[in-house]
Amino acid sequence: MKTLVIAEKPDMGRNIAAVIEPKAQNKRSYLEGDNYIITWAIGHLIGLAEPDLYDDKYKKWRFGDLPIIPETFKLLPNPRTKDQLEVIKDLAARSDALVNACDAGREGQHIFSLIVRHLHLRQPVKRLWISDLTAETIRKGFDQLKDNTEYDNLTQAARARSEADWLIGMNGSRAFTTKHNELLSVGRVQTPVLALIYDRQKQIEAFDSLKFYDITGQFTQQATTYRGIWQGERLTDPEKAEVIAAKVKDKTGSITSYEVKDTKEYPFKLYDLTLLQREANGKFSFSAKKTLDTAQALYEKHKVISYPRTNSNYVNDQNIPEMHKILDSMRSSPDYGDFVKDANKKFVSTSNKNICNPAKVEDHHAIMPTMKKPQGLSPDERKLYDLIVKRFLSHFYPAAEYKVHTVMTEVEKESFKTTVKQLLSLGWKVIYADSSKSSAVKDNGKDNGKDEGAGTPEDEEQETDAPFEIDPQQPVVCSDVEVKAKETQPPKHFTEGTLLKAMESAGKQIEDEELRDAMKDSGLGTPATRAATIERLKQVGYIDMQGKKIVITPKGRTAIELIRGAGVELLTSPEMTGHWERRLTEISRGQASADAFMGNVKKFTCQIIEKVNHQRPAAKNAFARPEPPAKEARGKRKPAGDSGGKAESSAPKKARSSAAADTASSPQSAAQPGTIGSCPRPGCGGQIFMGRKGYGCSNYKTGCGFVIWKESFDRTLTDTMVKALIEKGKTSKLKFAGNGDEEAFEARIVLNNADTGELVLERV
């Protein structure tokens, strides 16, 4: 008999077959050779059954039937992929051994274990655990197959995660939905993430801007000119600021303090998935899901990067020789060959703890390129691959070197501070020197741990590659002075990039890298699931995208207020849910009990039901978006009923508000003024109208959530632009002003999601 190899997806199975059975016959749903049969799971073939498979009474959502806590969870094949499950069953019947070749991580382990449980497979199982799909790695992996029982703890953690999510999601959603007569989705991870967005929104709304005045002096000493920021308590009176400015202008002063310090900046850490998603969001406006899907294609289809769903920024000792080989393989690359020529392998060694730190590598090392040369990459795949390769190459270069000059200047007893960062050597930043005119001396990895917009205050640090020479013994003249009015700024809305950072650290705004690394085990979700959580919040109508900004909807806002109002704040707590995620990690390491974890989850499920039971139902209009005043009579509109979908039909009947309610005009026929065009949402059939804040669909009352906001990407969209978006999927080429040091650029606005109206920028 033969050994059956079960991969997670078809591409992965074919890659494996090409190495271990190169002459295998292609049977479409599997490949068969002399010793191995290779097939695949196509993702999740099996899931946990819905409540109605435990009892018919659960087909109706009734509060009195809660909580639903199965003694044993039933498994249910996915009807769309049941044929492939039958293939695996038949192939297993003529195999005497199995190889688990699903993705090397918690979810891959879970997918395989569900197949084994559902089909009652009894064959001995070996585990293929690899980090990339190159032929060399696959061959080495099969030479070093481990017994699958070594991963029993990981299997238990995966099962506990799945069943815990079922308990919280099924019971929480049914409890809040039936109590408040509105379809409310509740989840162990999604709800605390929504709470992060809610709390940020409240901070923004409560923010009271304060106007203040900065005084900047320009000082001259012989051939050297420099700026200095006035030092003192924040000035809110413009007259006081002008008095100081007049007092020092054209006056002679002295240097009271002058320090020079040599500093070095080392390359940024190698990417884990979350950091890659954050940076791709910041640079290219990629959603977290788009980055994950693109990285997965680079790994699985093109085989040019290592396993992307990793939470590590480091490598193991044995990866160092591999990194040297990868560097050598790029010597002839037209894009990276020049960088390889100047690279030095001595910087990538086991003694460099910025790269090699086995204690911080668990299932997988950091994302790296492989030795395979890229071919046929799409533009988006090329962008992401370029990020990964340049981050990899940067570690083969020395640190960037600077002299930091700190000068305190006093004029008429008023002090001014100057910080000049003088570039001595670009070092690794030479790799990014062509990316933008300023990247040679500035942080090229903007989103490497700081929130968007964070950093050195404007004008406080001056960067130069010219020598800075000053004599502290000689006088200086305040040749000019400027008073600039400023305002304190509210917290920024989350982008997907900054939200991912908050999820990674369970909402804690931690700047210390070591502490942030320690929090990775207690973040919200995992690198592999965070993108799906954000997408879920969009799908259920809790958040909208306005350009790159994430904004909470009235439905999302009310959901959090109801959950907290019920007294189950724990369900919205990022830190507590983060601790649950850490406990799952401990289960996977054999340091905690899955049974004890599930016992606590069941207790908490019962607490949710008990608390909601005592809550007053929400007001009927609690979830509605504010609608524009109606000129036509709305009474002629037919009341909206259920959409007919599975979740809707099992929930109480009601008219459901959608994103378009805040944007669409009153109902009009396609021939009436104000119609922009037909709604691009598949199967909708509605018309797009211009409202007060955006362009929405006439079918918003019956569930269409399509919205294009007028104010997007710092510009006001026109009817012509929106017409192009809904008919062609993109606008013509537009000019955009750069931010800060970024130059102006040209781009098209592209309709990224026809279901929601989400837009992205596509640079040209």
Give me the helices (H) in 94-151, please.
Answer: 106-119, 135-143
b vs e for 184-217, b when ≥16 Cβ sit within 10 Å of the residue's Cβ? bbbbbbbbbbbbbbbbbbeeeeeeeeeebbbbbb
Out of 299, 307, 314, 432, which one is annotated catalytic?
307
* Residues 6+ away with beta carbon under 8 Å from 150: 127
> CA–CA separation, 691 vs 476, rounded Å?
59
User: What are residue 276's phi and psi, to 5 degrees?
Assistant: -65, -40
Output the six-digit token pair for 66: 């809660």
By C-alpha distance, which of 193, 192, 714 is closest to 496? 193
Bridge partners of 100, per DSSP, are 6, 127
Instruction: Judge whether 448 and 268 are in contact, CB under 8 Å.
Output: yes
Scanning 375-508, the segments in alpha helix (DSSP H) are: 379-394, 496-504
Q: Is 480 exposed, middle or buried (0-12, 13-18, 19+ CB in 10 A)?
A: middle
Name residue 324's amino acid.
H
Sequence-ordered list of residues with C-beta below 8 angstroms from that of 527, at least 6 positions apart, any chain? 272, 273, 274, 309, 310, 311
Residue 408: phi, psi to the nearest 5? -110, 120
The CA–CA distances, whole Å, from 704 to 86, 541, 661, 682, 696 equal 37, 10, 9, 10, 9
Q: Regarding beta strands 125-127 and 95-101, do their DSSP bridges make them parallel or antiparallel, or are they unpaired?
A: parallel
Instruction: Please state the separation of Cα 400 from the chain's center in Å.
Output: 29
Q: Are the beta carbons of 543 and 550 closer than 8 angstroms? A: yes
Three-class SS of 394-426: HCCCCCEEEEEEEEEEEECCEEEEEEEEEEEEC
Determine how β-strand 2-7 pairs with β-strand 95-101.
Answer: parallel
Query: Which residues fall within 8 angstroms of residue 721, CB to CB, at 6 or more apart?
Result: 731, 749
Dihedral sign for Cα 229, 230, 233, 234, please.
Answer: negative
CB contact set of 695 (below 8 Å; sequence gap of 6+): 663, 664, 676, 688, 689, 707, 708, 710, 717, 722, 757
Other residues' Cβ atoms within 10 Å of the Cβ of residue 501: 25
- In the structure encoding, which two tokens stand for residue 68, read together? 């639903």
Pair 708, 757: CB distance under 8 Å: yes
Per DSSP, the three-state class of 216 is strand
Q: Is 307 assigned a catalytic role?
A: yes
| Cβ count within 10 A of residue 717 | 21
Place of tokens 């192939």: 91
Handedness of CA 554, 556, 561, 563 (dihedral sign): positive
- Rounded Cα distance between 16 and 666, Å, is 57
Cα(194)–Cα(12) distance, rounded to whole angstroms?
A: 35
CA angle 505, 509, 515 (to 5 degrees): 60
- 116, with CB counted inside 10 A (0-12, 13-18, 19+), is buried
CA angle 292, 295, 301 (to 5 degrees): 125
CA 680, distance to chain mean position in Å, is 26
Question: Which residues are designated catalytic?
Answer: 307
